[in-house]
Structures are given as structure tokens and as C-alpha cells.
Amino acid sequence: MSNEPKLSSSLEQLTEIQRYVTQEHGTEPPYTGKLLHNRRDGIYHCLVCNAPLFYSDTKYDSGCGWPSFYQPVHHDAIKYLTDNTHGMERVEIRCSNCEAHLGHVFPDGPQPTGERYCVNSASMSFIDGENGNKTSG
């Protein structure tokens, strides 16, 4: 993989919670993520490889405790896997570029897609559309 050295250095800079979520398929506690209440215009990116994941205009407050989106920037931005852990059948979502764990997608979101991409803040960074500032989750 051509971006392996870059990913390796990115992984070294992750906080404990960012590593736990993205590399160990963990979940941050609900209502604690830095990006949960973010209302600025911009783009959410994968924290590990910086691939674009979600536009801010697809983010909504689902009340679940994690940032929620109704669709990714494009379908190929996300990798979908069956997750049968914790006695449930869910669909895990990962970054298609680097396989970082993002969260899960559920079929109970708003229209036009009916999907709720429930994403850990710790798996994303946000680039502000106005000033270009980056906020890591």
C-alpha cells in the first residue's frame, strides 16, 4: 500500500480514545465526542487518512449521543461489514481508504435516505468550510 508510511505516522499521533475507536473497533462514551454538537459548515474526514466522509449539511441530531449523518460524501467512501457482536446484527462502517472503524449505520434515519450513520467523533476530523481550521474528534 503506497500510503502505508503516512498511515503509520498518523497512527502514532492518535490519542488513546482515537486509537481505541479507529484501530480496535471501540466506541466512545455517548455525549462525549468533540464533534457531536458541531454546527459549522464543512467536511468531516477520516481522522487516520484524511479521506472525506460526510458533508456537514447531511449531519443531524438523532439524539443517540454520537454525530449522525444521513449519507456519506459518496457511497464508496464507506466500507460496510456485518457486525454480530454484543448479541446484535448491525452494519459496521469503516473508512474505505484505510479501514479505520467509524461506527455503524442503521435504517432509522431521516429522508431522503432513511439511514443513520452513527459515527464516533474520535474517528473523524472536521475541516471548517469558512476558515479551513481543522478540529480532531
Mind telling me the catalytic residues?
118
CA 137 from chain centre, in angstroms, equals 9
Question: Which residue has cell 452513527?
Answer: 118
Secondary structure E strands in 1-137: 42-46, 52-55, 59-60, 68-69, 78-83, 90-95, 101-106, 116-119, 124-128, 134-136
Question: Which residue has cell 432509522?
Answer: 108
Is residue 80 within 8 A of residue 91, CB to CB? The reply is: yes
For 18, 28, 104, the CA distances from 82, given in Å and listed in that order, are: 22, 20, 10
